Amino acid sequence: MTQHHRSDDLSPRRRDGRGRFDPRAVPRAGLTRRQRARRGVLAGFAVFALVAGLGLAYSASRLAGVEVLLDTPEARGDLLRPAYRVTLPPDSAPGTRHPVALMISGCDGPRDNLGRWAAALADIGWASVVVDSHGPRGLNNFDLWRAVCAAAVLPGPERAGDIAAALAELHATDWADPSRVVLIGASHGGWAVHDYLALASEGRPPHGLTDWPAVLRGDPRRGIVGVVTLYPYCGAAGVAARAGWTGGPPVLMLLADGDAITDEDACLDLAARERAVGVQVRTHVYPGVTHGFDTRERSVLSGLRFDPAATDDALRRITAFVQGLPADPG
């Protein structure tokens, strides 16, 4: 059985339980259930429209290089460290160093899909770390994490700093092989992963960080041997969409045909541009599925659907991709 660990310092130790979004609503006196539902939908759309407008302005300022709040790499690591969730392969012996996947969730925070990825990777000898960008910032509440979805809070180029902090943290463990790391990002997390690669290619630290962590200076892609993104955002607010990246590890993109949340055509265009400059990029587009097809946990009123067949296929593709990476990154 796969061993699941939660750690304050990325040292594996058992800890149970985690906070989950509770979608219960408080009834309003004098309104029917249908009226409450309709009012909730309309209010949700109104707030989303407002937040989306703010998000466009926020992201535009970030693309222009405007920074508001800056963290040192050490401060970012201190913020995130208590929420890291580590999974080691079964029967992992103390002191054994494992290749590692850093897993970056969608804009609604860590969901059950990350647990499935972690279990599948553990079965092929890989450790994994869920990098929770939401909990440490108090963004687990529905009204707050949808601001992340609209890019009003923590857009991809800024969230890329969480990836940098987690990569640096691996060097301080006795169980991780920091020379063999795969980045796996879903939706908003995929945006952050792509922008991490683009910023690293440009030599610019992630937005909101004063600098790269010391261990990554000179080579921010140090140790990254592969990248997997599922239904990522590849639109104009991203650094990757504007500038792309050169060199770096092979990439696997798993996309949803007709994605109503993130346009898969933008990702296919990005993949084509990266191939043209020599980056190894594979893509697979799933027909008949929605955005987030590998996630059972849903927020209220979500129109997204869990697809077991596509999920199983995605897990097979991810594990095959990871197993096909060179054992020696040099």
CATH of the domain at 96: 3.40.50.1820
Q: For residues 15 and 8, give the distance between their C-alpha atoms in angstroms, rounded to a whole number.
A: 10
Map residue 152 onto helix, strand or coil. Answer: coil
Instruction: Note whether 140 and 111 are within 8 A (CB).
Output: no
Instruction: With a cut of 80, say whether residue 96 has pLDDT above it.
Output: yes
Report which of 103, 112, 142, 188 is spatially closest to residue 302, judged by C-alpha positions: 142
How far apart CA 322 and CA 99 sit, in angstroms, is 10
**Residue 132 counted as domain residue:** yes
Structure tokens, 120: 């599948």
Q: Which of 90, 111, 106, 124 is nearest to 12 (CA)?
A: 90
- Tokens 């990029």 -> residue: 281
Q: Is residue 21 part of a domain?
A: no
Position 153 scores a pLDDT of 87
pLDDT (mean) for 88-103: 94
Cα(243)–Cα(222) distance, rounded to whole angstroms?
20
Binned at pLDDT 50, 70 and 90, residue 143 comes out as low
Domain residues for 150?
30-323
Q: How many domains does the chain have?
A: 1
Is the pLDDT higher at 19 or at 126? 126
277: confidence class by pLDDT, cuts 50, 70, 90: very high
* pLDDT the model gives residue 300: 65
Does the pLDDT of residue 14 top 60, yes or no?
A: no
| pLDDT band (50, 70, 90) for residue 60 | very low
Residue 51 domain flag: yes
How buried is 298 (Cβ within 10 angstroms: 0-12 exposed, 13-18 middle, 19+ buried)? middle
Q: Is residue 3 part of a domain?
A: no
Kindly state whether residue 316 falls inside one of the protein's structural domains.
yes
Whole-Å CA distances, 120 to 5, 111, 123, 179, 240:
15, 15, 5, 21, 29
Confidence of residue 26 (pLDDT cuts 50, 70, 90): very low
Confidence band, pLDDT 50/70/90 cuts, at residue 1: very low
Write out pLDDT tens, residues 280-330.
999 999 999 999 999 988 766 678 899 999 999 999 999 999 999 987 554
User: For residue 58, what pLDDT is reported?
Assistant: 46
Q: Is the pLDDT of residue 202 over 50?
A: yes
Nearest Cα to 172, choosing from 81, 248, 85, 91?
A: 81
pLDDT at 10: 58
Whether 113 is covered by a domain: the verdict is: yes
Residue type at position 43? A
Q: Is residue 14 part of a domain?
A: no
The residue-averaged pLDDT of 262-269 equals 96
Q: What is the rounded distance in angstroms from the CA atom of residue 145 to the CA atom of residue 142?
A: 5
